[in-house]
Every structure is written in structure tokens, then in C-alpha cells.
Amino acid sequence: MGKPKKDSGTWLMTYGDLVTLLLVFFVLLYALSPGVEKKKFNAFIQYFQQSGGFFDDNNVAPPQPPPGETAPSPEEMEEFIEEQLTRWLALKDFLD
């Protein structure tokens, strides 16, 4: 008899993905079912936003510029991101 293999725990990632996909599936079923009131559905989503962060607002696509305006250049975006990051780091006392 050989030594029993040590469980690496990789099955937990698959299990977590399965549970997440099941949650999304049932949320979609609920959302698409007839007779769901908008107020009730918003309360349902609000519950998940507060408890676990499944539906973070951070996952929303960035806003598009209004018609007639051009999107900022990559250099402008880099400058803006650097400024925001510096401001955030200073706020969190990570900078000297």
C-alpha cells in the first residue's frame, strides 16, 4: 500500500464556480419570470450587493463620450489614471 495522496483542494475552485453559476442562473430565472415587479427585483439585487458583492457596480463599462466629443487619447488616460492613483495612495498614507 502506498501513501495516500494529500488533497490539494483544487476542487474548491470548481465548486465555487459551480455555486456562482447556479446563483446567476436562478437570478436570471427570477428576473425573466413573468410578474416580477421592478421594485421587488431591485430589492433582491440590493440584498446581494450588500451581503457579498456579487453584483458590484465596479463591473460596469466605462461611460462613452457624448456624440460630437472624442474619447481621450491614451496619453491623457494614462495621465488621468496616474493622477487618480497618486491621489488615492496619498489618501491611504502609502506615499511619503
Q: Is the pLDDT of residue 20 over 80?
A: yes
| pTM of the complete model | 0.37
Helices assigned H by DSSP within 33-73: 38-51
Residue 69: the pLDDT is 78
Count, in order, helices (H) and strands (E) of the chain.
3, 0
Distance (Å, whole) CA 50 – CA 20: 16
Residue 94: the pLDDT is 67
Which DSSP helix (H) or strand (E) runs through 37?
none
pLDDT in tens, 37-90: 778 777 877 777 776 555 555 555 666 777 877 878 889 999 999 998 888 888
What single DSSP character describes residue 58?
Answer: G
